[in-house]
Amino acid sequence: MIIQPLPDKMLDLKLTLSILPETLVICQMDKDARIPDWLLASTFYSITKTAEEQSIVCPQTNVPEGIKRDEGWRCLKVEGPLDFSAAGILASLTMPLAKEGISVFAMSTYNTDYLLVKERHLEKAVQILAQNEHRIQYLKNY
């Protein structure tokens, strides 16, 4: 596979990102599992269902024992709303992080994009994104 460099226009994106205050978890559940009550009490959650599985992202403190999970994620919210025709938003964020060996879990909604990075990499990710002229702010409440 040949990866083409990004057009300069994409590299010029200067985004504002907010760091959500909670530590999140990514859970995997059976594709036919019903949406659990403990999830609905969360202030932030995302559910993605496919033919193979159901993935849930939510605050780490809400998940009971026995659920398959990957803990310790922090969330960077791209302040939006974003225009659907805007190209390169995720690439402008993920490429600098990938160059430094920081993996991400990306999610999108109608209004905006969210990047999850492991908590142990948050400080370095913020530094890298700021060096790429993105503005970072911490949210106390969400």
CATH number of the domain within which 131 lies? 3.30.2130.10
- Report if residue 3 sits inside a domain: no
End-to-end Cα spacing for the chain: 40
pLDDT band at 8 (very low <50, low <70, confident <90, very high): very low
Tens digits of residue pLDDT in 97-140 = 999 999 999 999 999 999 999 999 999 999 999 999 999 998 77
- Report if residue 142 sits inside a domain: no
Does the pLDDT of residue 82 top 90, yes or no?
Answer: yes
Please give the DSSP secondary-structure letter assigned to residue 14.
-
Residue type, 126: V
Instruction: Give dist(CA 17, CA 30) in Å, integer.
Output: 32
- Report if residue 48 sits inside a domain: yes
The phi, psi pair for 71, rounded to 5°, reads -95, 170
Does the pLDDT of residue 32 top 90, yes or no?
Answer: yes
